Structure 1
């Protein structure tokens, strides 16, 4: 397994822990791993990932982008349904939720159209 794949996995794990910590701040995990510690770890992991890529831009595949988007929104929904309440104000009643959903939908539509345009026409 490549090191960049392992780093991406740990970035996703700590991103998830950050969300869980925000929605459930009174849990044992939240008292051990505070938001500041998780953010510090995330920053270090991203810096290591960028250093391994040697500054080259790697375009995320459309499938990975859609998966990451659905994971983030799904995590938001599941944590809310489990009874969590975001400390930074993420909720279904917030207009921010609907603005983000619309923007993500438009961005996914843009990526879909762009990938169709970039594919060579089949004859």
Structure 2
């Protein structure tokens, strides 16, 4: 497995831990790994990832983008259903939740249209 893939997975794990820490701040894990420590680890991992890629911009695939978007929204929903209360105000009752979901849906629609347009351009060549 490539080092870049491993780092991306670890970034996803720490992103999840950050979410869990936000929704459940009174757990033993939250006392051990504070939000500041998790954010510091995330920043270091992103810097390492950029150094490995030598600053090249790598576009996420359509499937990866959709997967990450759905994962984030699902994580938000599951943590709320488990009884967690976000410390930064993320909840179903917040209009911010619906605004973000609509914006993510529109962005996914944009990516889908762009992908279809690129496929038709390749077929005409």
Q: TM-score, normalised by structure 1?
A: 0.98
| CA deviation string 1:40-76 (max 9, x = no partner) | 0000000000010001110000000000000000000
Distance in 2, matches of 1:57 and 1:117, equals 22
What RMSD over aligned residues (CA atoms) do the two structures have, in Å?
0.8
The reply on whether 1:84 has 2:84 as its aligned counterpart is yes
SS at match of 1:105: helix
The reply on whether 1:46 has 2:42 as its aligned counterpart is no
Distance in 2, matches of 1:59 and 1:38, equals 25
Distance in 2, matches of 1:55 and 1:78, equals 35
Distance in 2, matches of 1:2 and 1:121, equals 32
Question: What is aligned with 2:123?
Answer: 121
The gaps in structure 2 that reach 5 residues or longer are none
The gaps in structure 1 that reach 5 residues or longer are none
Distance in 1, matches of 2:105 and 2:40, equals 30
Q: TM-score, normalised by structure 2?
A: 0.96
Question: What is aligned with 1:9?
Answer: 9
1:97: how far off? 0.2
1:121: how far off? 3.0
Paired residues, what number?
Answer: 122
